[in-house]
Amino acid sequence: MEIIIADNAGFCFGVKRAIAMADSFVTNLDRVVYSLGPLIHNPQEVKRFEEKGLVAVDSIAEITGNKVIIRSHGVSKLVIEQMNERNIEIIDSTCPFVKSVHRRVEEFQKQGYNIVIIGDANHPEVIGINGWCNNEAYIINSEEEAIGLPEFDKICVVSQTTNTQNKFETLSEILMGKGNEVKVFNTICNATNLRQQSCREVAQKVDAMIVIGGYHSSNTKKLVEISEEYCKDVYHIETPEELNLKKLQGLKKIGITAGASTPDWIIKEVIKTMDNINNNEMMEAIESSFTRVHRGDILKGKVLFVTDNEIMVNIGYKSDGIIKREELSDDPDVKPKNLFKQGDEIDVFVVRLDDGEGNVVLSLKKVEDFKNWDIVEKLFEDKERVECKVLNVIKGGLSVLVHGLNGFMPASQVSVSYVSDLSPYKGKTLIAKVIDFDKNKKRIILSRKVIEREELNNKRKELWASLEVDKIIEGTVQRLADFGAFVDLGGVDGLIHISDLSWNRIKHPSEVVHEGQNVKVKVLSFDKDKNRISLGLKQTIEEPWVAFSKNVNIGDIVEGTVVNLLDFGAFIRLKEGVDGLLHVSQISKEHVEKPSDVLKIGDILNVKVIDINGEDKKISLSLKEALKETEEVDEKEKETMVEEPEVTIGDMVDKN
């Protein structure tokens, strides 16, 4: 006889959680703990808890103590409020899947939706769900009921978590035509889907199917229905004593599954009874159906569901696995729902076999750690670049995350430049290199400075390769010295000598440029071996004398500014940037002892060009000639003018 065990059988996550919570509270026979209704739909397990002191009641009125366990089916909002009013301590073991349905119907009813629940109206889970939408839900469990449902503007459809997928899909399709806006939520528990699918697969292969579970258990009844669709001989039992061994004898293949409320000890008792038929073959089959799990194993699992703080995983073991948020990654900002969804297959590390609630404690971080240590080691050996996220500023540098592993970047390795405040780096992603690595000591040291140095060297190479004499390039003034200005051209500094800053004579570079200023300069010469580049700023603009020669002729009256005063005359700077001499004798037709008697530096005045010496680049100017021309007013204009004061030197000079 061949025994085939369904891959998913026995306690689901919600029931297992309720049993674990009850076991932890019902430990003292002197203290009575109540449960609203039987804890689970399994009389044998209910009896076991009764012997430990758990009293099942049907209503709050029967409670005389102050501690109540809410079973995995959940209860209505009103029941919770009534217990709170009586100061009853609530031990809430409502299945997380059921709680999510409570929240959904409450939320959508507030938004004006008519709630429709697909399920058994007498089932405690459905009664509880209806209690979270003011007991106003429409409960349907057949095609006739779905067809007979009135039409509404807005409908929200949910399901009893233990429904069959076929029923839910059939009724949902009918309901889609019952409203203008219909939102359908498949709230069937994934564990239910897996259990039903496993049952379906086994039932198609065997001569007889044994379904173990309570007679009043909804999910067990559905397993019976599924089995009967594919197998002619189906036996629904609660205890091993109910097995009809004679009918099973001589069959070649027998399948076994169990409802969500069936504890492992009952399944094992059934196996022991089957030993009389198959000489322990059944026990070996049931044991071999479970993955053998040990601490430190790396296993493949399938995601059952994801919450904000944890992930439940089916690892093929008799208990499901749980991954807490802190075991997902070293990144404190990671969110489980951003990483995985229901049905994803993942590798997990077994931390321990029981977390106190019957779950296997798993870690994704440790699996990734094993892989990531190898990745980072290769990056270190190959001297490759790597991205790292800065987590915090700590003593001596930055704590960073590289491929999910904690690393350290010393302050001296953050940049080629000195960084006094590291706080702006927090939360940033940097490109770095691993400069020290020790897997055994869990040490990873990184450097951003190395990358910056490489980038500077590359820029220098590119710059030197692109340099040409007379080429115009851009740079930034880095610092000033008495003899010139240093300009950063992109990793290499060039020098503008003070004589190449301006066509005019200056005393200090600050008269022309300032630190941080972007400038365009001409390459005058360069020597890569000596790391020298000579630059010119004045060479990027037209020489003043050339501009003057193009624009000004002898006899023109031009505007200029007094820039120097000597005993023999004043130097006037014209707008082209050239200086001309206003001799003391050309200041006024009246005698002037020295220019400073009538002029001062900064005065703006109009002067006449009386001579240009192109060979020596000298310009002679006259203020009195300009005054004379101004005085020679057209006679006709004089006749029409009212008497005007005589024009003087003061009138020709702008004193600012």
Question: Which of helix, strand or coil describes residue 650?
Answer: helix
**Pick from 156, 124, 135, 153: which is nearest to 41 by CA?**
124
Question: Which of helix, strand or coil describes residue 228?
Answer: helix
Q: Are 290 and 351 in contact, with CB atoms under 8 Å apart?
A: no
Q: Are 155 and 113 in contact, with CB atoms under 8 Å apart?
A: yes
Residue corresponding to tokens 């027998």: 254
DSSP 353: S
The token duo for 386 is: 């790597």
Residue 557 backbone phi and psi in degrees, to 5:
-100, 125
The token duo for 327 is: 């075991």
The verdict on whether 125 is a catalytic residue reads yes
**Pick from 553, 554, 551, 612: which is nearest to 580 by CA?**
612
HEC per residue, 557-620? EEEEEEEEEECCEEEEEECCCCEEEEEHHHCCCCCCCCHHHCCCCCCEEEEEEEEEECCCCEEE
State the catalytic residue, choosing from 45, 125, 327, 368. 125
Residue 601, Ramachandran bin (φ over 0: left; ψ between -120 and 50: alpha; else beta): beta
Burial category of 549 from C-beta neighbours within 10 Å (exposed 0-12, middle 13-18, buried 19 and up): middle
Q: Are 568 and 620 in contact, with CB atoms under 8 Å apart?
A: no
Length of the chain: 656
Q: So which residues are the catalytic ones? A: 125
